[in-house]
Structure 1
Amino acid sequence: MNNSCSVVKAYGKVLVYGGYSVLEGGTGLVVNVDKGTTTKASFSDETEIIVAHIKDKDKLRFAESAVKAARGFLKSDKELKIESRNDEEMNPGSKAGFGSSATSTVSIVASILNLHGVDVVSEEGRRTVFQLSKEAHTEAQGKIGSGFDISAACFGTQFFSKDKIEKAAWPDDWRAVFAFSGKSASTTEFVKRVFGFKEANPEEYSRIMDEYNKTGLEIKSLYEEYVKESNDENLKALMQSIGKSYKIRKNLGVKANVEIETDDDTELLSGIRREGAMVAALPGAGGGDSLFMVCEGEENMKKIKEHLRQKELKVFDNIRVVDKPYEVLA
Structure 2
Amino acid sequence: MSSPPTVVSSPGKVLITGGYLVLDPKYPGTVISTSSRFYTVVREAGPNDTNHIRVRSPQFLDATWEYIVTTEPDIAVKEDPANHSKNKFVQLALQNTIALSAEVVGPLAIQDALEKGLHITIVGDNDFYSQREKLASLKLPRTLDSLSQITPFTTTGVNLSQVHKTGLGSSAALITSLVSALLLHFSAIPTSSFEEDKSDGRRLAHNLAQYVHCLAQGKVGSGFDVSAAVFGSHLYTRFDPEVIHTLMNDDGPLLPVLSHTNETWGYRVEPFKLPPFTRIMLADIDAGSDTPSLVGKVLKWRSDNSEEASILWDSLNQLNQALARALSTLSTLYEKDPENYTTAVKYISSLQSIQWEANPAQPEGEIPIVSEFYEAHRLSQAIRAKMREMGKLSGVPIEPDEQTKLLNSCVSLAGVIGGGVPGAGGYDAIWLLVCDPVDASPDKHPIERVERVWSEYKDLNVSPLSVVESLSGGARIEVLEKITGLSAVVQ
Give me the TM-score of the superposition, normalised by structure 1. Answer: 0.91
Residue in structure 1 matched with residue 419 of structure 2 by the alignment = 280
Highest RCO, 1 vs 2 (Cα 8 Å, sep ≥ 6):
1
**Partner letter of residue 403 of structure 2?**
D
Quickly say closer, same or farther: Cα 1:59–1:284, change in 2 above 3 A. farther
**CA shift for structure 1 position 218:** 2.0
Q: Does the 8 Å CA contact 1:261/1:282 hold for their aligned counterparts?
A: yes
Rounded to whole Å, the distance in 1 between the matches of 2:53 and 2:412 is 54
Residue in structure 1 matched with residue 362 of structure 2 by the alignment = none
Q: Does the 8 Å CA contact 2:93/2:178 hold for their aligned counterparts?
A: yes
Residue in structure 2 matched with residue 307 of structure 1 by the alignment = 453
Matched, 1:147 2:223: yes
**CA shift for structure 1 position 43:** 4.2
**Partner letter of residue 29 of structure 2?**
G
**Partner letter of residue 37 of structure 1?**
F
Quickly say closer, same or farther: Cα 1:194–1:3, change in 2 above 3 A. farther
Residue in structure 2 matched with residue 184 of structure 1 by the alignment = 288
Rounded to whole Å, the distance in 2 between the matches of 1:91 and 1:41 is 23
CA deviation profile, 1:106-128 (whole Å, cap 9, x unmatched): 00001101111222415111101
Residue in structure 2 matched with residue 41 of structure 1 by the alignment = 42
Quickly say closer, same or farther: Cα 1:210–1:40, change in 2 above 3 A. same
**Partner letter of residue 477 of structure 2?**
V
Residue in structure 2 matched with residue 175 of structure 1 by the alignment = 279
**Partner letter of residue 82 of structure 1?**
I
**CA shift for structure 1 position 235:** 1.7
264-273 or 306-315: bigger deviation: 306-315
Alpha-carbon RMSD: 2.2
Q: Does the 8 Å CA contact 1:275/1:307 hold for their aligned counterparts?
A: no
Q: Does the 8 Å CA contact 2:377/2:418 hold for their aligned counterparts?
A: yes
Q: Does the 8 Å CA contact 2:11/2:173 hold for their aligned counterparts?
A: yes
Which of 172, 178, 191 lines up with 1:108 in the alignment? 178
Residue in structure 2 matched with residue 261 of structure 1 by the alignment = 399
Identity of aligned residues (%): 23
Rounded to whole Å, the distance in 1 between the matches of 2:396 and 2:92 is 29
Which of 44, 57, 60 lines up with 1:51 in the alignment? 57
Quickly say closer, same or farther: Cα 1:199–1:59, change in 2 above 3 A. farther
Residue in structure 1 matched with residue 470 of structure 2 by the alignment = 322
- What runs of 5+ residues in structure 1 fail to find an aligned partner? none
Q: Counterpart of 1:47 in 2: which secondary structure?
A: strand
Rounded to whole Å, the distance in 1 between the matches of 2:22 and 2:60 is 29
The aligned length equals 328
**CA shift for structure 1 position 272:** 0.8
Q: Does the 8 Å CA contact 1:281/1:292 hold for their aligned counterparts?
A: yes
Quickly say closer, same or farther: Cα 1:252–1:38, change in 2 above 3 A. same
**Partner letter of residue 197 of structure 1?**
W
Quickly say closer, same or farther: Cα 1:22–1:3, change in 2 above 3 A. farther
Rounded to whole Å, the distance in 2 between the matches of 1:42 and 1:169 is 34
Which of 58, 62, 86 lines up with 2:89 in the alignment? 62
Q: Which is strand-richer, 1 or 2? A: 1
Which of 195, 198, 205 lines up with 2:299 in the alignment? 195
Residue in structure 1 matched with residue 242 of structure 2 by the alignment = none
Rounded to whole Å, the distance in 2 between the matches of 1:245 and 1:58 is 43
Rounded to whole Å, the distance in 2 between the matches of 1:265 and 1:12 is 22
**CA shift for structure 1 position 278:** 1.5
Q: Does the 8 Å CA contact 1:8/1:39 hold for their aligned counterparts?
A: yes
Residue in structure 1 matched with residue 122 of structure 2 by the alignment = 84
Q: Does the 8 Å CA contact 2:373/2:417 hold for their aligned counterparts?
A: no
**Partner letter of residue 270 of structure 1?**
N
Residue in structure 2 matched with residue 12 of structure 1 by the alignment = 12
**Partner letter of residue 305 of structure 1?**
E
**CA shift for structure 1 position 271:** 0.8
**CA shift for structure 1 position 83:** 1.7
Q: Counterpart of 1:226 in 2: which secondary structure?
A: helix
**CA shift for structure 1 position 54:** 5.1
**CA shift for structure 1 position 101:** 0.6
Q: Counterpart of 1:36 in 2: which secondary structure?
A: strand
Q: Counterpart of 1:322 in 2: which secondary structure?
A: coil
CA deviation profile, 1:41-92 (whole Å, cap 9, x unmatched): 2345223332334558767222222222211211247454332111111112
Quickly say closer, same or farther: Cα 1:47–1:242, change in 2 above 3 A. same
Give me the TM-score of the superposition, normalised by structure 2. Answer: 0.63
Residue in structure 1 matched with residue 169 of structure 2 by the alignment = 99
Q: Does the 8 Å CA contact 1:96/1:290 hold for their aligned counterparts?
A: yes
